Structure formats: C-alpha cells, structure tokens
Structure 1
Amino acid sequence: MPHVHRRPKMSISRCALLCLSALLALSSTASAAENGFEYGSGLRGPAEWGGFCANGTKQSPINVVIADTVLDKSLRDRLDTEYGKCTYAVIINDKSAHHLDVEGDGSFGNLTLNGVKYELVKFHFHSPSEHTIDGVSFDLEMHLFHKSADGKFAVIAIFFNESHDDDAESPFLKQVFSWLPNITQPDTNVTTMAPITLESLPLQGSYAQYSGSLTTPPCTEGVSWVVMLNETQKMSCPQFGAYQKVFPEANNRPVQNTRCRSVTRFEHA
C-alpha cells in the first residue's frame, strides 16, 4: 500500500487567527476605499496616489516659470467667456474631495478655448495654492471647472492673497464665504438666496496655458489649464479667517514635473 502523506490538522486557535487577519485586511481595504484620498504625508497622501497620479506624464499643478514660457501673440487679451449673471448655487462642504465646492442650479455660462466650447459647471478652492508662479505660492487658488459636450475639461486658476487693506474684501468671495457658517460640518450644503455673479473676476490680463491633469485622483490628463498670472485678487482677513475656520487643513497637491511641456503665455501690455 502506498504511503499517504496527511496534512496536520490546523489548530482552532491558528485558524481563528488567520480568519481574523483576513477580516482585518478586508476591513482595512474597505476603509481605504471609503475614505479615498487625503493630503499630507499619510498613507493616502499625494505621494501614495495611484493611477495617472503616479504614472502620468502631464500632471498638474506645476510651477509656472515665466522665463521658460513661450510668448504667443495669437492669444487674446481677454478670455472668451460668456458667464451668466442669474445662477443660484449650492455651496458644499465636500468631505470626500476635501474642499469647498460651488455648483450652479443651472449653467454658470461658457468658455471657448482653442476652438472648443466648455460649460462652467462648478468652482472650488485650494489653500494654499496648488500652482506657483516662479516658485511663489498664494493663500488661495480658485478653480473654475469647465466641461465640453464630449467630456473634455478646461480649468481657469485664479489666485487670492490675504490683505490688511481697508478695501481688501473680495466682492466675489463675499457671495460664497458669507454662507460658510451654514456648512461647518462635512457633507453639508446650503443654497444661496441670491444669484452668484462672476462679473468681478479678473479674466483679462496676462495668463499662461498648458496641457495638464486634474489635481485630485484619478488625476485624469488632457485638461486644458489657464493660469492667471498678474491679477492676484485681494481678500480681507475676516474672509480668509472664515474660510480657514471651516477648512483649517491644507488641500493642495504638490507641484509636478513639467517634463518639457510647452507653457504658452499672453502678456498683457
């Protein structure tokens, strides 16, 4: 009769430990999936983001080095926008995205860029700024987020700095930040009682253009970026303080390697 090799029986305690380990691993995976990405140096911070965030070749944000940009005289001195003046908005404390998000109850208007028409669907904020200009960071960066009919993205970045001037209050930010006390808790929102107007935004002057990505996972590439260069806006100390009270933690992705990408600019006379 051939000799039969029998596997030793696993003890109940060892089996229980393996089952517990498997459950903990599943729990950890589920928790990571539920909580998504984070900022800072933690296990879900920018250095650990996967997909395009880790392997892409045209990532955002970048440090715009003015001396390295290419002057393009074909660019217009004012961006081709048609923003509406009668759109109410929902202001959201978005826990999963870690930022203040503003969505219109209708279209905010349109941007035409490089022959493509995009709809302004929302805007949000990062502090400190994600893009830098010649290595200089700003207190706040607003992203006007546009989407075309075929799913392409275009984003306009506008910078704000805190100022102690008497006239430093931003009329535009006032429309949004005055509602911050209503959304102090994550995943809460409030609908504005008056339309949001974008007419006070600085959409003329010098700006840079380049091809990049979303700055949050999955860091999708093919995004057309417009970065306003010399129209940094003022905001008052109370305004910035109201923002920091609700969003005290930094939510900026570090600047990414340009990888020899061409960055063009329009220089306002």
Structure 2
Amino acid sequence: MYAAARSMSRRVAAAIAVFVVYLSLAPPVFPFGAVVVHRAAAQELDDEGEFSYRRDAGNGPARWGVIRREWSACAYGHLQSPIGLSDTVAGLADRPGRLGRTYRPAAASLVNRGHDIMVRFNTDAGGVLVDGVAYRLRQMHWHAPSEHAINGRRYDLELHMLHQSADGNKYAVVAQLYRIGRRRDRTISRIEEYIERIAKRKDHEELIDEVVDPRRPVRGSTIYYKYTGSFTTPPCTEGVTWLVAQKVRRVRRRQVRLLRNAVHDGARRNARPLQEANGRGIGFYYTSPAHGMVATGG
C-alpha cells in the first residue's frame, strides 16, 4: 500500500511539474489579447483614413491626439484652436496691435485634400506683417461651419489664410467668418467651376486659369482678434498666430453647400470643436493706426 501511495505521489508531482513548465512557457493570455485588440483598433483607424470630423468615430476630433504620437498636442496641448472670442475679453488688452497687409493677385491651383478645399498660391501673393514678423501667404481653405465663435456664436463658414515666415519656423492664420445671406462671395464664385471639377476626387488638383486675388475675401475687414493658438487639424502644432476678423461677411447657401459636397463625406462638417482658452490673452489688432484710434475711442 505504501509503495502504491508513493507511486501515485510521484505521478501527481510529475503532472504538477509538467503543468508549471507549461505555464512558464506559454504567453500570458490577457496582456497578449490586449495588444492584439490595440493593434487591430489602430489598423481600423488607418483603414478609415487619417482623421475624421465625425464626433462618434474612432478617429474623430476627441481621439486625434492618440492616433499618432506626433499628434499628441491635439489631446494634451494647452494652446489649441479654435476658441471662443469676445469683444469684452479682447477689450481688456493693454493696447491694440497693428496688422500690415500686402496682398496681391497671384497664380494658384485648387486642391481637394479630402478634408477641405484648398487654394494653393503658386506665385507671390503677398502677406502680412505682425509684431515685426513678415509672413508670406501660402494657401487658403474653408471650414463649414465656422471653427471660431464670436461673442458666443458660430457661423456658417470660415476661411483660413495660412501664412509662413521667411525662415519657415512661424505661422500666422488670418480667418474670415461668413453668415448665410443673399450676397454671394466673389472669391468662391470665381472658382466654382474648379470646385465642381475636383468634387469627391481626393488629392486631385486643378490649375486655375486666372489669378486669385487674396485681397477680396478680407476687403472691409479692419479689426481683428489676435491670440496664440494652434493648427485646427492634426498635428495641431501650437505657437500659431491667429488673426480672426471681427466683421462677418455674407455667403450664399449654395456656395457653402458646394464646398461641403466637394469633400469626403466625413468632412462635410469640417469644423473642430471649440477648445479651452486656458487663460490666453486675446487682443484687438487693426489694419491701420487710424482704425485703432477710432475703435478704442482715442
């Protein structure tokens, strides 16, 4: 009996030893499963496109900062755009600044980037002078509805005119907001046929036969809100100088619809949600000293 017991104990011990060796060699189940799910999710994001404006999408605005490491500022930055702007806050600035403009008509191409329609200037279109830094106008594109809010209201369309400094290290964006009205926007009117040509054709480009005049969209806009923010699309790079026109211009509903229908379906409403201001200073900038004196009561 004792011999039988000893034999059974040896068999049990051997079985336990084999089970322990198996556990030591087998990969851990739960961590491995988590990695697989994570990689699968990342692959799904790649398949859906780089980013989307759909609030409930896995690559929507709330998740831009975790899709790629280099896009982390979208989630963790403290100087993000767009933000809400107000006359009251801007009026608290110590003194107004000056915005110099030297725009001129230039040759350009129209590009469908999927998430927006962009006019890329191929020759010198002039630029702006802000705080002693000269910026050259590189391109302009549209967002519908507007990304920035003025005095608590977001509008139907927003134009961004992107500028770059000579050394390539600084950026400034002049923004113009629009509300629906009977008056058409003449800049959009002149390129409507080109927008129709590139509609739904991502990365397609058309050379515009006539020059594009960047003075036209901001004609009559003399007062601007100025603050430091970021790009409103990934990688959401911060340190961008923003100048948002206080005056809201008119655009026809059909023109807004044309821009919306031309882009990818996930960008028909290609406006990033408002970001936290985080105590940033907002001031008024003017296109001439005279405008500043009138607006401030000087």
2:261 corresponds, among 245, 253, 260, to 245
Q: Quick check: which has more Rg, 1 or 2?
A: 2
SS at match of 2:102: strand
Question: 1:71, 1:266 within 8 Å by CA — same for their partners in 2?
Answer: no
Match of 1:254 in 2: 273
Q: CA deviation at 1:178?
A: 3.1
2:135 corresponds, among 109, 112, 118, to 118
1:160 corresponds, among 175, 178, 195, to 178
Q: CA deviation at 1:93?
A: 1.2
- In 1, the alpha carbon distance for the partners of 2:73 and 2:143 equals 20
- In 2, the alpha carbon distance for the partners of 1:205 and 1:72 equals 19
Match of 1:101 in 2: 118
Match of 1:143 in 2: 160
Question: 1:92, 1:190 within 8 Å by CA — same for their partners in 2?
Answer: yes
Aligned: 1:40 with 2:63: no
Cα distance change on mapping 1:161 and 1:27 into 2, 3 Å: same
Q: CA deviation at 1:22?
A: 7.7
CA deviation map 1:216-244 (0-9, x unaligned) = 111111000001012x1212233223223
Structure 1 runs not aligned, ≥5 long: 10-18
Match of 1:170 in 2: 185
Percent identity over the alignment is 28
- In 1, the alpha carbon distance for the partners of 2:245 and 2:217 equals 11
Q: CA deviation at 1:92?
A: 1.2
User: Root-mean-square deviation (CA), in Å?
Assistant: 2.7
- In 2, the alpha carbon distance for the partners of 1:207 and 1:20 equals 53
- In 2, the alpha carbon distance for the partners of 1:45 and 1:239 equals 26
- In 1, the alpha carbon distance for the partners of 2:187 and 2:116 equals 18
Shift >3 Å, 4+ stretches: 2-9, 19-28, 71-74, 266-269
Q: CA deviation at 1:156?
A: 0.5
1:82 corresponds, among 89, 97, 102, to 102
Q: CA deviation at 1:112?
A: 1.0
Q: CA deviation at 1:24?
A: 7.7
**Between structures 1 and 2, the one with greater helix share:** 2
Structure 1 length-normalised TM: 0.83
Match of 1:13 in 2: none
Match of 2:85 in 1: 64
Match of 2:208 in 1: 192
Aligned: 1:53 with 2:74: yes
Counterpart amino acid of residue 101 in structure 2: T
- In 1, the alpha carbon distance for the partners of 2:162 and 2:94 equals 24
- In 2, the alpha carbon distance for the partners of 1:198 and 1:140 equals 17
CA deviation map 1:50-70 (0-9, x unaligned) = 111111111110000211123
Report how many aligned residue pairs link the two structures: 252
Counterpart amino acid of residue 217 in structure 2: L
Name which of structure 1's ranges 217-226 and 29-38 shifts more when overlaid on structure 2: 29-38
Question: 1:123, 1:143 within 8 Å by CA — same for their partners in 2?
Answer: yes
Match of 2:196 in 1: 181
Structure 2 runs not aligned, ≥5 long: 1-12, 24-31, 66-71
Counterpart amino acid of residue 148 in structure 1: S
Q: CA deviation at 1:246?
A: 1.8
